[in-house]
Amino acid sequence: MKITSFEHYKEVYKYSVEQPEAFWAGIADTFKWRKKWDKVLEWNFKEPRIKWFEGAKLNITENCLDRHLDTIGDKAAIIWEPNDPKEDHRILTYRQLHDKVCQFAHVLKNNGAKKGDRICIYMPMVPELAIALLACARIGAIHSVVFGGFSAQSIADRIQDADCNIVITADGSFRGNKEISLKSIIDDALVTCPSVQRVIVLTRTRTPVAMIKGRDVWWEDEIKKVETQGTKECPAEEMDAEDMLFILYTSGSTGKPKGVVHTCGGYMVYTGFTFDTTFQYQPDEIYFCTADIGWITGHSYIVYGPLSQGATSLMFEGIPTYPSPGRLWDIVDKFKVNIIYTAPTAIRSLMSFGDDPLKAKDLSSVTKLGSVGEPINEEAWHWFDEKIGHGRCPLVDTWWQTENGGHMISAIAGVTPLKPGYAGLPLPGVQPVLVDETGKVIEGNSVSGNLCIKFPWPGMLRTTYGDHERCRQTYFAAYPDMYFTGDGCLRDEEGYYRITGRVDDVLNVSGHRIGTAEVENAINMHSTVVESAVVGYPHDIKGQGVYAFVVAPNKKDDEELTRKDIMMTVSRIIGAIAKPDKIQFVSGLPKTRSGKIMRRILRKIAEGDTSNLGDVSTLLDPAVVDEIKAGAL
């Protein structure tokens, strides 16, 4: 939605909360439906039961592909830049992308995929990853993408939870100077996944892989078969607005990751609307989101949002520091990128290399900047604004979550005022509230509390896969009739929102969501560990680091070796992204008499702030605190 001024925003916002159904129907009207809805919205946050555009029929890929063919068929839909700058980049126009999606949709069908099947995708950042998502959506199969940094065990957990019958992967992936054997990780995962009948393997690194007869097939061979069959077009499956589009697993404060479920109609409307609104996208702009499609940002803002709006989405296989810390700026220069959407952790990491990597890079094409995934500190905000935006580009700090589907609180580029460190004002249709510990809504400005949303928006999660009660418990039980985000937040004197971070036991490490309970479970799997407690601490680059307090009485004399063994255990169980930055061996954990770990104390110690640990007299063994303090890393 094009918003022309701050005044205009205020009008639109007012209308969107006073008449939400009319507002969203108006937005939904800009999409292509096979049949329009009977009812815009039906909801209650008690069960919860949320239905948007009930009765409507559509296929999201017709909105992302087919409807653009007559108008912008030859426009670049995806520009792909490989990990190695010496390899050729690729450009897929909307027409080419459409054809490839249809082709691969046939491959899926030939391999037994049907509407409603769950398909696990574990792939490098290559165009075929986007094609795989869209091909699933084309035939009504539900994709469950697993980020390439997760271990075999994590993949197996996700495949089993969703009962997937097909896996799409690649032989390997290139990340900087590393090569990762994706297929062999999948092979390890599948030992415990009898539901998987078929593995489709894309060739990327041509590292040797085991291809199991009757189960594994090459992507390229299957495409050839479709070409021989001569089938081109693949008509899109007609989906109900509330049919599942995908599952994406995300960490919470307890237990294993949950499968957040998004549905076809609402998610399409919400991601398209927010992409267009937040970035005020113009038809000739090149848009570059540096996220990985393994996370929600990639789903919503590399694939579905930009494509439904006919944008050119640049996809990058590698990492910002390879082969040099100027790589992102080389890409911007090479493709004359207009909009850069990245994470504070990337900005902080690139900042640390100073100005040298920026020399001789032409960044004059850049018009808008965006940040996502974690609070952005002011130093990083200003660096991004000055060095990359040259002080002339709006920098939107977009706050949202996997569960939200798309941007919730964010400045609108060039329209709403910017405040470093602040996500700003809610987007149209979003109704945030702050509540205190007792659940009382905190009115007025210059206040802080727990951030909730009191009215549904089309992109919100509908359930957690296979366990609706868990969805209710996690998001809708803390405060009656509200969605609880898990974030703390302040609203300043002008009503601008600043996200202060999670108030639960979820960490945000380099913009990746990690549950402390998950990491503890993984550490506790190590043979010498009796118990452990994991907390976050401020980390210059990662935002938060992982600090583990570990009780391991029978550990080897060589503590450093045991540390490495524990790290390896966490890598095996979750993935390298969850490895603790610090492991402190302790003789016991500070516990209350009822056996509850006092995390507050551990957090303070991890932060290096031991001056005021508060009352420790209620602890079972107060002496342990002194020991932990003395041994802090």
Binding site for ligand WTA (CB under 6 A): 250, 295-297, 372-375, 397-402, 423, 485-487, 499, 501-502, 508, 513
Q: Which is nearer to ligand WTA, 113 or 248 (CB)?
A: 248
> Quick one: which H or E segment has residue 397?
strand 395-398
Separation CA 124–CA 205 (nearest Å): 10
Looking at the Cβ atoms of 111 and 402, the one nearer to ligand WTA is 402
The nearer residue to ligand WTA, 193 or 433, going by C-beta atoms, is 433
As measured in angstroms, the least distance from the Cβ of 42 to ligand WTA is: 26
Element (H, E) at 517: helix 516-524
Residue 76: CB minimum distance to ligand WTA, A: 25
47-48-49 Cα angle (round to 5): 105
Q: What are the contacts of 596-601 at 24+ separation with CB within 8 A?
A: 597/533, 599/505, 599/533, 599/535, 601/625
Q: Which is nearer to ligand WTA, 135 or 248 (CB)?
A: 248
Cα separation, 567 vs 551, whole angstroms:
15
CB burial class (10 A; 0-12, 13-18, 19+) of residue 292? buried
Q: Which residue is nearest to ligand WTA (CB)?
A: 402
Minimum distance of ligand WTA from residue 251's CB (angstroms): 8
| Choice between 200 and 499, CB closer to ligand WTA | 499
Q: According to the 3-state scheme, what is the secondary structure of 102-168?
A: HHHHHHHHHCCCCCCCEEEEECCCCHHHHHHHHHHHHHCCEEEECCCCECHHHHHHHHHHHCCCEEE
- For ligand WTA, the closer of residues 362 and 494 by Cβ is 494
CA–CA gap between residue 428 and residue 408 (Å, rounded)? 9
Minimum separation from the CB atom of position 453 to ligand WTA (A)? 12
The SS3 of residue 302 is: helix
Of 97 and 535, nearer to ligand WTA (C-beta) is 535
Nearest approach, Cβ of 452 to ligand WTA (angstroms)? Answer: 12
Quick one: tokens of 399? Answer: 């706050």
How many angstroms separate the CA atoms of 276 and 315, rounded?
18
Q: Give me the least distance between CB of 318 and ligand WTA, in Å please.
A: 21
Query: What is the C-alpha to C-alpha distance for residues 585 and 631, in angstroms, rounded to an integer?
Result: 8
Task: Please state the closest distance from residue 299 (CB atom) to ligand WTA, in A.
Answer: 10
Q: Residue 597 has what DSSP assignment?
A: B
Of the candidates 474, 91, 513, the one whose C-alpha atom is nearest the C-alpha of residue 297 is: 513
20: number of Cβ within 10 Å = 19
Cβ-based nearer residue to ligand WTA, 68 or 368: 368
Nearest CA to 342 out of 383, 398, 299 is that of 398
Q: Least separation, in Å, of the C-beta of 423 and ligand WTA?
A: 5
Q: Decide whether 402 or 463 has the Cβ nearer to ligand WTA.
A: 402
Closest approach of ligand WTA to the CB of residue 506, in Å: 7
Q: How far is the CB of 488 from ligand WTA (least distance, A)?
A: 9
Q: Which is nearer to ligand WTA, 338 or 401 (CB)?
A: 401
